[in-house]
Amino acid sequence: MLTSTQGWAIFHGSILTVEIALVAVFFGVILGIIVALGRISKNKIANALSWFYVWFFRGTPLLLQLFMVYFAVPIIYLNVTGSTLVIDPMLCAFVTFSLNSTAYMAEIIRAAIESIPEGQMEAAKALGMSYHQAMRKIIIPQTFKRLVAPLGNELIMLLKDTSLVSTIALFDVLRTVKTMASSTGNWVYYLYAAAIYLFLTTVLQVIFDKLEKRFGAYEKR
């Protein structure tokens, strides 16, 4: 069985895992809305920038992005300024995962916005609303229901992907159990990690099922 030290270590690892996922999904949604609006914007510059953003962050491995922020940025900083830069690995994980999830969220949000019938924007405009007002009051609120399922999916993926942070000196739940398993030669620690991941993803699934039902209320008779 686990000693209390081991138990706490696994607990802290799990907290770290959840923390990164939550921070990433929070910023991912906010920045994702902005990038999504850029993607559907008629403004060519906004359009090109957001296209490039999604193209880059979806098209390269998350692990590579993590390395670039954690290893490459300090070197670039050193070359440019001549002084050293120490990045807190936790901050690095927050930034990278947020940037990465922004790209995915942007595509999810863009698809949701584009799935709202055109008549909704027309009705809002005919009532005198500006594009901005129509987006804020009419279009974006209607995407919430359509966002719930893909958002839950994305959050679950993100939660599992956080295991990549073990490469930048962070002890998430997976790295914690791996250390224990290799120092004791006991494989059962991996089962603990699996149980924790399953527990977390199940909680997410239940929450998102509930949200989906709730947001769906106005579309049911």
Interface with another protein (CB under 8 A): 117, 119-120, 122-130, 133, 137-138, 141-142, 144-145, 217-221
Which ranges constitute the DSSP H helices of the chain? Answer: 4-40, 44-59, 62-67, 73-81, 89-114, 118-126, 131-134, 140-161, 173-184, 188-215
| Measured torsion, CA atoms of residues 8, 10, 15, 17, in degrees rounded to the nearest 10 | 160
In angstroms, give the least distance from the CB of 125 to another protein.
6
Which residue's CB is nearer to another protein, number 58 or number 136? 136
Nearest 5 degrees, angle CA 58-CA 151-CA 125? 95
Which residue's CB is nearer to another protein, number 135 or number 164? 135
In angstroms, give the least distance from the CB of 217 to another protein.
8
Which residue's CB is nearer to another protein, number 88 or number 122? 122
In angstroms, give the least distance from the CB of 151 to another protein.
17
In angstroms, give the least distance from the CB of 109 to another protein.
16
DSSP 3-state assignment of 69? Answer: helix
Which residue's CB is nearer to another protein, number 111 or number 116? 116
Tell how far CA 20 is from the center of its chain.
9
